[in-house]
Amino acid sequence: MPRHVVHVVGARPNYMKTAPLMAALARHPDEFRQTLVHTGQHYDAALYDVLFRDLGLPVPDVDLGVGSGSHGVQTARVMLAFDEFLDGAAADLVVVPGDVNSTLAAALVAAKRGIRLAHVEAGLRSFDRTMPEELNRVLTDQLADLLFTPSRDADENLRREGIDPARVHFVGNVMIDTLERLRPQARRRLPELAAALRVGRPYVLVTLHRPPNVDDERAFAILAEALEEIAGDVDVVFPMHPRTRRRAGTLLDGGPVRVVEPLGYLDFLALEEGAACVVTDSGGVQEETTYLGVPCVTVRASTERPVTVSEGTNRLVAAARAAVVEAVRDALAAGASPRRPELWDGRAAERIAEALRADT
């Protein structure tokens, strides 16, 4: 009888990690049947409709509909709803990707029920315990039976934390599987998209959403000033997440920075690959720009993806006007000389699937 694999996703980046794995497991229908559970942690309908279409991902089988709330409240709601779902699911394996609240909540429920647990993108560490994501990562890895790592530094982090090496599988970056599969489609969209957004080449692409950068009015104002200064040199386009938009108020309105509505995965990937530089605070964008060879300026004090700095195109900068402007200008002048990290080759999901097939 096929083993029942339950995939739990809670935020957009989770889908980019889950889609290729579901496709890889679907090639073995005699061994696996799959259920996709969306917790509802992130729930913007327009964004998700586009995402399902772009990734060719089926609509989730189950939507737990937990909604927003504090980290504690949201984690508890996911635990309650997922626990209830598992009452009738007869799950053999729960797979959680990434580091959002849904990841930890589902991991806790699976572990307490004695269901085998796999963590995709295990071992990443920023070493900053003030980040909720860091707590989610560390605790999920302690609970997981199978830990699939994207880079060698992640293996070393797990070793230092006392994780049995037999549970750890270095498979590469599964997000790159999705990127590589959809990259040709994205490339074809860039000319029309750039024209529609009135963006000339070269341009700088911006994405900011983390609380330290956007929740504090003064902090965001400083970054807005930096972006406006950069826009004096080169076009700057900023697809603004709804959360950032709510906090931005009138900042950047009517100025030289081109603020646009959030983009679907393919459109964002098109702009990302075509950019001369990307300014971000997103973990996934750090990885994508490294793979694409696009200079990246990350407005954060630390990163859980140091391989993007040591081997890729990423540079960390302080959230200060002069630092951001200088870093972007340096990136524009220097261009990129990328080296793709080991096993970032578009086949990570295949390696995970083979490990799961062997896990009997």
| Phi (first) and psi of residue 64, to 5 degrees | -75, -20
- Residue-wise pLDDT tens digits, 23-34: 999 999 999 999
Contact 75, 101 (CB under 8 A): yes
177 falls within a domain: no
State whether 243 and 319 are in the same domain.
Answer: yes
The separation between CA 112 and the C-alpha centre of its own chain, rounded to angstroms, equals: 27
State whether 190 and 327 are in the same domain.
Answer: yes
Q: Is the pLDDT of residue 208 over 90?
A: yes
Query: What local confidence, expressed as pLDDT, does residue 48 receive?
Result: 64
Helices (H) and strands (E) in the chain, counts: 15, 13
Q: What is the mean pLDDT of residues 202-221?
A: 93
Q: What is the mean pLDDT of residues 195-203?
A: 93
pTM of the model: 0.93
State whether 128 and 254 are in the same domain.
Answer: no
State whether 189 and 317 are in the same domain.
Answer: yes
Query: What local confidence, expressed as pLDDT, does residue 328 receive?
Result: 97
Query: What local confidence, expressed as pLDDT, does residue 342 receive?
Result: 96
Catalytic residue among 4, 28, 71, 209: 209
Tally of domains within the chain? 2
Is 209 part of the annotated catalytic residue set? yes
- Residue-wise pLDDT tens digits, 245-288: 888 777 898 899 999 998 988 999 999 999 999 999 999 999 99
- Residue-wise pLDDT tens digits, 115-126: 999 999 999 999
315 falls within a domain: yes
Lowest-pLDDT choice from 104-118, 121-135, 238-252, 296-310:
238-252
Q: Which structural domain range is residue 143 located in?
A: 3-172+344-358
The pLDDT confidence band at residue 333, using thresholds 50, 70 and 90, is very high
Query: What local confidence, expressed as pLDDT, does residue 245 receive?
Result: 85
Query: What local confidence, expressed as pLDDT, does residue 307 receive?
Result: 96
- Give the SS3 label for residue 20: helix
Q: What is the mean pLDDT of residues 48-58?
A: 71
Contact 314, 290 (CB under 8 A): yes
The pLDDT confidence band at residue 158, using thresholds 50, 70 and 90, is very high
Query: What local confidence, expressed as pLDDT, does residue 68 receive?
Result: 77
Sheet arrangement for strand 314-317: 258-260, 235-239, 203-207, 277-280, 296-299, 314-317
Query: What local confidence, expressed as pLDDT, does residue 353 receive?
Result: 98
State whether 322 and 257 are in the same domain.
Answer: yes
Q: What is the mean pLDDT of residues 162-170?
A: 98
The domain that holds 10 is classified in CATH as: 3.40.50.2000
178 falls within a domain: no
State whether 106 and 228 are in the same domain.
Answer: no
Query: What local confidence, expressed as pLDDT, does residue 42 receive?
Result: 60
C-alpha closest to that of 292 among 242, 335, 234, 322: 335
* % pLDDT > 70, the chain: 97
The pLDDT confidence band at residue 44, using thresholds 50, 70 and 90, is low
179 falls within a domain: no
Highest average pLDDT, of 13-17, 66-70, 114-118, comes from 114-118
Neighbouring CB atoms inside 10 A of 46's CB total: 11
